[in-house]
Amino acid sequence: MQDNSASILLIDDHPLLRKGVKQLIEMNPNMKVVAEACNAIDGVKQAVEHEPDLILLDLNMPEINGIETLKMLREEEVSSRIIVFTVSDNEEDVVAALKAGADGYLLKDMEPEDLLTSLEQAASGTLVISPRLTTLLAQALQSNKRSDKVDTSSLTPREKQIIKLIANGMANKVIARKLNITEGTVKVHVKHLLKKLRLRSRVEVAVWAVQEGLN
């Protein structure tokens, strides 16, 4: 806050890389590295102490990995924007990072000048993502299509309909009213679909349906 340059914290277990990134960043007078850390514990400590505008966080770290670190930072209610900065273009990592609340995901193989502009954007509040990851993100959203372990095909239309209503949190009685059938009949359908899906309660049905994207 003393000057108008964005303060940055680097968390990465690789000293050489920190050095390089720091040099790069400080070529831009609008940004300044105010602290560095080589592991999660120290990173969280520095973050709490400095409350930087941006945190550049590596995913591959010994002991506690980046995602965990991210969660720890969120627990501490650090207000900084957290940008994951890593070599991993693995779908799971990207999705996990974003779900954990990352404000950006940049790959280490970016061109230096692109990195700088991305960081400036991030500092100004934009969610930044390496363009290479577009397809990955789209696939993550599509998640339903793939991996239908349970054979949803054996379900009758009525059963599918009731699954959706259960996934909306409705009780048997409410479902019965909505479909103009008796509660007993709803129970019959529920019983059958539980058998078919090999689940043990409507709660499991609900979470399964939501995760499968049956809306």
Residue 124 contacts which entry, DNA, a copy of itself, none (Cβ below 5-8 A, type-dependent): none
Quick check: 118 and 103 in contact, CB under 8 A?
Answer: no
Span of 6-14, 21-29, 44-52, 191-199 interacting with DNA by CB under 7 A: 191-199
Q: Does 119 bind a copy of itself (CB under 8 A)?
A: no
Half-sphere exposure for 180 (CA within 13 Å, toward CB) = 0
Taking the least distance from each CB to a copy of itself, the nearer of 28 and 168 is 168
Taking the least distance from each CB to a copy of itself, the nearer of 19 and 74 is 74
Count of residues in contact with a copy of itself, rule CB under 8 A = 40
Rule CB under 7 A: choose which of 171, 210, 211, 213 binds DNA: 171
Stretch 173-202 residues interacting with a copy of itself (CB under 8 A): 199-202
The closest of 196, 212, 206, 198 to 162, measured between CA atoms, is 206
Rule CB under 7 A: choose which of 30, 134, 182, 211 binds DNA: 182
**Pairing status of strand 81-86 against strand 104-107:** parallel
Which x/- pattern, by CB under 8 A, does the window 78-117 give for a copy of itself? -----------------x--xx-xx--x------------
Compute the least distance from the CB of residue 198 to DNA, in Å.
Answer: 11
Residue 125 to residue 194: CA distance in whole angstroms: 46
Q: Kind and range of the H or E element at 140?
A: helix 134-141
Q: Which two tokens stand for residue 62?
A: 């010994």
Residue 105 to residue 173: CA distance in whole angstroms: 46
DSSP H helix total and E strand total for the chain = 10, 6
CA 148 and chain centroid, separation: 22
Binding interface with a copy of itself (CB under 8 A): 95, 98-99, 101-102, 105, 126-129, 131, 133-135, 137-142, 144-145, 166-171, 199-204, 206-207, 210-211, 213, 215
